[in-house]
Chains A and B, each alone.
Chain A
Amino acid sequence: MKKLANLTRGILKENPVLVLVLGTCPTLAVSTQATNAIGMGLAATAVLVCSNIAISLLRNVIPDKVRIPCYIVVIAGFVTVVQMVVEAYAYSLYQALGIYLPLIVVNCIILGRAEMFANKNGVGDSALDGIGMGVGFTLALLAMATIREIFGNGTWFGMAIPALSENTISIMTMAPGGFVVFGLLIALVNKLTKGKAIKKTEFGCEGCPSAAACGKLKCGEAGDN
């Protein structure tokens, strides 16, 4: 039962994007097309699962004081591997994701899960947590991309949708559309959870891996938004 909870936690209750509001940059940037969203989601999931497993295995070896740099090295290593795999086998995706692929390194979700989960739990649980969080990230990206691609481009996964493909709202695929759709989705989550998620969706430091280092001044301010 606890195993199942580890897996499903990231998908709905603690969705990394829509509830914890982590990893906003790639969410906004690559959610213009459903295909890119899935690609980005899978790449991040692969890194997340691998780094969670590695960090969980190394959790008794890594000295506490230098743990963040150690996590960053582990994550950067897996990101490089994923980058090479995508470049070799899915070159069009590699070009579409561009700079956001290496930037998975600084995706708060991955460092956040390493710090908050993998360094305290066993390998199996950490892997499940990684899969759950990765799927949650992918689903949130897909939801955003679906809305933006259907209204902005009149297509879904590249398939033209009748009626909509002649009347596109092209602003949806551009930068402002990303902000609006993300804002509306979070508002929807707030509505569905009847405000219980509001406290969490305040832009806080609880998920930020540098929270311990950044001095409480800023965290305090961000917390009582």
Chain B
Amino acid sequence: MDFRALVIILMSAVLVNNYVLRQFLGICPFLGVSKELKNATGMSVAVIFVMLLATAVTWPIQAYLLNPNGMGYLQTIVFILVIAALVQLVEITLKKYIPALYTALGVYLPLITTNCAVLGVTIANINKGYTFIEALVNALGSGLGFMLAMVIFSGVRSHTEASDPPPSFKGLPITLISAAILSLAFFGFNGVIENLFG
């Protein structure tokens, strides 16, 4: 097990290939739930949790069920169904056994079914040919990157909410333009992997 390779996968998923700011996945929750730090963190934790779980389930399905039987084309259907069922299952389990966690994450869970970042990370793991461990690390990194973007952006938004943009820019437009500046800032991480580990 090459620990260095895993660190590289993790770091590039968090900083360089940030899902929200560089790859445009999970934009809906990024814009919709980033108004308050509390909601942003709750949503992010739920996303990290579901991403890890979905990868842990979908990777073996693809490797041991779909690929050996020549049914790789069923990937999209199977993955989205697995994720939808998984989210329901997690919700029911949390409600029954860990009510404290359910109150914290419960409202965010149903939204995650149609979050493209979750389906995106499971498909990307297969496309990139990661091993099971690498896939899990990539899922964790993508989730952490989502969280980083959400938390930073909720801070930015608390300021844009208080500002007074031109009337046409109120609401979503000014939020998108702030997101552009944050995305620009993340370009600073280009080359960080090569220089740290190269």
Residues of A within 8 A of B (CB): 21, 24-26, 28-29, 68-69, 72-73, 76-77, 79-80, 83-84, 99, 102-103, 105-108, 111, 171, 174-180, 182-184, 186-188, 190-191, 195, 198, 201-203, 205, 208-210, 213-215, 217-218, 221-222, 225
Which chain B positions have C-beta within 8 A of A198? 167, 170-171
What's the Cα separation between A214 and B115 when bound, in Å?
A: 13
Tell yes or no: B193 within 8 A of A by CB. no
Stretch at the interface among B48-56, B103-111, B136-144: B103-111
Which chain A positions have C-beta within 8 A of B27? 24-25, 28
Q: Are B24 and A183 in contact (CB under 8 A)?
A: no
What's the Cα separation between A195 and B123 when bound, in Å?
A: 40
Which chain A positions have C-beta within 8 A of B65? none
List 30 interface pairs A-B (beta carbons < 8 Å), by A numbering.
A69-B84, A76-B81, A77-B77, A84-B73, A105-B119, A106-B119, A111-B114, A175-B22, A176-B180, A176-B181, A176-B187, A179-B183, A182-B176, A183-B176, A183-B179, A183-B180, A184-B177, A190-B168, A190-B169, A190-B170, A198-B167, A201-B172, A203-B175, A208-B28, A209-B114, A210-B110, A214-B108, A218-B111, A221-B39, A225-B171
Q: Closest chain B residue to A190 by CB distance? A: B168
Q: Are A175 and B24 in contact (CB under 8 A)?
A: yes
* Interface residue range, chain B: 35 or more
Which of B24, B32, B168 is within 8 Å of A28, CB to CB?
A: B24
Which chain A positions have C-beta within 8 A of B181? 176
Tell yes or no: B127 within 8 A of A by CB. yes
Overall SS of chain A's interface: helix
Q: Closest chain B residue to A199 by CB distance? A: B171
4 A-B pairs with the lowest CB-CB distances in the bound complex, closest first? A183-B176, A179-B180, A187-B173, A29-B24
What's the Cα separation between A218 and B28 when bound, in Å?
A: 13
- Given the interface pairs A175-B21, A183-B176, A225-B171, the reply to whether A102 lies near B33 with Cβ below 8 Å is no
Q: Are A103 and B116 in contact (CB under 8 A)?
A: yes
Tell yes or no: B23 within 8 A of A by CB. yes
Which chain A positions have C-beta within 8 A of B24? 24-26, 28-29, 175, 178
10 more A-B contacts (CB under 8 A) besides A24-B27, A79-B76, A218-B32?
A: A102-B119, A111-B114, A174-B187, A176-B184, A178-B180, A183-B173, A184-B173, A195-B168, A210-B113, A214-B110
Interchain Cβ contacts within 8 Å, total number: 160
- Given the interface pairs A25-B116, A83-B76, A180-B176, the reply to whether A99 lies near B107 with Cβ below 8 Å is no
Which of A83, A105, A183 is within 8 Å of B80, CB to CB?
A: A105
Q: Interface centre among B110, B180, B181, by most A CB within 10 Å?
A: B180
- Give chain B nearest CB distance to A192 CB in angstroms: 9
Tell yes or no: B151 within 8 A of A by CB. no
Which chain A positions have C-beta within 8 A of B168? 187-188, 190-191, 195
Q: Are B119 and A201 in contact (CB under 8 A)?
A: no
Q: Closest chain A residue to B180 by CB distance? A: A179
What's the Cα separation between A178 and B183 when bound, in Å?
A: 10
- Given the interface pairs A24-B27, A184-B173, the reply to whether A210 lies near B111 with Cβ below 8 Å is yes
Q: Are B81 and A195 in contact (CB under 8 A)?
A: no
